[in-house]
Amino acid sequence: MKCIYDLDQWRELRQTDYNSGSLGFVPTMGALHKGHLSLVQSSIKDNDFTVVSIFLNPTQFNNPEDYRTYPRTFEADKALLENEGVDVLLNPNYDQLYSDEYKYNILESELSKQLCSSSRPGHFDGVLTVVMKLLNLVQARYAYFGEKDYQQYLLVKGMAQAFFLNTEIVPCPTVREPDGLAYSSRNRRLSPKDRLKAPLFYSLLKSELDPKRIAVELKTAGFKVDYVEEIGHRRYGAVYAGDVRLIDNVIC
């Protein structure tokens, strides 16, 4: 596995070593888990080459404390990716990706104003901006996104279509722990007590209760509820277990 830290080096390699055959891409913020690895495995299965990026993107954090406490496990992540057979690990720094100091950014005016936006203003502006940068840099045929962040997936897919990007955005099913909790990098920050009750979030979300009743049950169980809403044929939820924010969604 090649570890690339310099974007000029990557651009050169993209034109020489990876200009033939299909290229798959998995963008991440690190702290990798089985959910991330399922994306990697899909890319490796579908493509001749796979690139994974690790970049903890500060522009999508409205809460500086959340950014500060986000798990950073680069060496362990690197070992996992090498073991999976990833061809390239791209690990740029902030100054490279944001040489404009975030003066230019991508805005979406409809879906990004719903659900997570109420408690995380500016979050999706940062997500879409960094994803656009990475998609333009990698120039992959396919890019893989988990359905746990379904709102994010829809926004990225819409952006790629709106700007005529050549990369196809591929959704991958949510991967869950045996008790139903969706894998997330934030799960490792849960206290033992909160980890025990966390699976109730998914259990209630997929129940036949209506969203208002689910919210009541979650609050009774000790969660702080951000939202439980249905849009189309999907039910979305976001809660806090202690100070850890969890999101999930189910088809309804």
Query: Among all residues, which ones are annotated catalytic?
Result: 36
Helix (H, G, I), strand (E, B) or coil at 241: strand
Q: What is the DSSP letter of 94?
A: H
Token pair listed for 115: 């659900």
Q: How far apart are CA 214 and CA 220, in angstroms?
A: 10
Q: How far apart are CA 205 and CA 252, in angstroms?
A: 9
CB 214 within 8 A of CB 250: no
Supply the DSSP string of 11-56, one letter for each residue: HHHHHHTSSSS-EEEEEE-S---HHHHHHHHHHHHH-SEEEEEE--
Burial class, 216, CB count within 10 angstroms (exposed 0-12 / middle 13-18 / buried 19+): middle
Q: How many residues comprise the chain?
A: 252
